Amino acid sequence: MTRVLVIGSGGREHAIAHALLRGGSVTDVYCAPGNPGMNADGIITVALSQSNHSALIDFARDKDIDWVFVGPEAPLIEGLVDDFQAAGIPAFGPSRAAAQIEGSKTFAKELMERHSVPTAAYATFSEYDPAVAYVREQGAPIVIKADGLAAGKGVTVAMDEDTAEAALADIFLDKRFGEAGSRVVIEEFLDGEEFSLMCFARGTEFWPMPISQDHKRAYDGDLGPNTGGMGAYSPVPQIPSSMVDEALDTIITPVLEGMAAEGTPFTGILYAGLIATASGPKVIEFNARFGDPETEVVLPKLTSDLGAGISALLSGGEPEFTWDTTRTTLGVVVASEGYPDTTQVGATVPELDYSASVAEHGTHVYYAGVAQAADGADASDSDSAGLVSSSGRVLLVQTTAASVPAAQEIIYSVLDAASADGLFYRHDIGAKAI
């Protein structure tokens, strides 16, 4: 009997917890704080904040938790893994020091520079005027990034100088991202197709997952503002396997070896956001955890036991991770109107009729920004009974099929048949693969 505590509340954590239970070696999964949409999958939600480290440690001791999986970036950067380990409780995720690879874009850029990892040329600024002067000197297109955590919304790909200067004003003058915007990284624009490469990592060892592709823009045709992600699919057939192999050799290996050599070894999920350029793969960003929504389309491809694999990683053993390499997984995010700028919450979460495709295709709904309605039924009665939207990204519908078009047909038939007042979704997830 293995008990696991998952930290977090979004669709990523729902997918992690669901995969742990599906594997078989984990018998009980608690999720703190979780969300009420998880209950239908047998996940036990715990009303504890992910920032209350002492309460989480007390809970883990009280419930005889075998190990903890820390999902989101904020508690990783706040040192939650360090605190669990200091309390004698195994936790899967990077230390506070290693999580800087996501917590500071400057840290990541300097690490890559030291170890000759291919990435865009860049400069870092902590004041508005010099940053604007640099943009005018370099010209557009150019990329503006808040240095710290900005929930996936701190990046502007500016195709003209006015847009770049407006982004700098948003960060420095309007303080949109608070302390996360105290510095900015301004990068060379790279031309190519993006893809996400995630790996289980332990020091200098790593086990890669199938690649996926996220859709960051809010609206069809890659229009609108950057979001945390509006959908994803895996594999990415237009990215050749040779490009992935090159990324493992020139990016993942030197980064992990460099971090270990410099005294910040990385254990957990290393996420590399990459771009396939004419001269090979280059790094756009690193994350210190599973991507969201990529997790919701990659973990359903896992054919081995996730819990057993992570247990082996934590105990120094040899993990086994095997994947479905023949079929496509695709997921579409349903978001609140106004996301990511002026999000409108409180919309009724629709009942989604996907039962007909569950047995054949493994269609599943992963919940994120949902809450129990004041007069709602128990969410365990059905997936979405009595739920309302509570933040930007509300849920993701995922399915498995023989191809991207087949997966699109399944998901959009489910979504288009539902009443989604106050919510929206993109209609072209996976279109680049067709």
What percentage of the chain reaches a pLDDT higher than 90?
A: 84
Domains of the chain: 2-93 (3.40.50.20), 121-188 (3.30.1490.20), 193-315 (3.30.470.20), 328-433 (3.90.600.10)
The CA–CA distances, whole Å, from 301 to 20, 235, 359, 361, 373 equal: 13, 10, 15, 12, 33
Q: What's the mean per-residue pLDDT of the chain?
A: 93
Angle at 90 between CA 306 and CA 61, to 5 degrees: 110
In terms of average pLDDT, the best of 124-128, 384-388, 404-408 is 404-408
Task: Check: CB of residue 382 under 8 Å from CB of residue 40.
Answer: yes
What percentage of the chain reaches a pLDDT higher than 70?
A: 95
In tens, the pLDDT along 228-256 reads 999 999 999 999 999 999 999 999 999 99
In tens, the pLDDT along 186-239 reads 999 999 999 999 999 999 999 999 999 999 999 999 999 889 999 999 999 999
Among 164, 156, 107, CA closest to 134: 164
Q: Name 59's Cβ contacts closer than 8 Å, sequence gap at least 6.
A: 5, 30, 32, 46, 48, 65
Bridge-based pairing of strands 267-277 and 155-158 is unpaired
Asked whether residue 158 carries a pLDDT value surpassing 50, the answer given is: yes
Coil/strand/helix, residue 139: coil
Asked whether residue 53 carries a pLDDT value surpassing 60, the answer given is: yes
In tens, the pLDDT along 288-341 reads 999 999 999 999 999 999 999 999 999 999 999 999 999 999 999 999 999 998
Burial (0-12, 13-18, 19+ Cβ within 10 Å), 22: middle
pLDDT for the residue numbered 380 = 46
Instruction: Summarize the confidence of residues 52-64 as an average pLDDT.
Output: 98
Task: Check: CB of residue 285 under 8 Å from CB of residue 273.
Answer: yes
Among 375, 346, 351, 348, CA closest to 365: 351
In tens, the pLDDT along 376-405 reads 554 444 566 689 999 999 999 999 999 999
Cis peptide before 141 (omega within 30 of 0): yes
- What's the pLDDT band for 175 if we cut at 50, 70, 90? confident
pLDDT for the residue numbered 379 = 47
306 backbone dihedrals φ, ψ, rounded to 5°: -60, -45
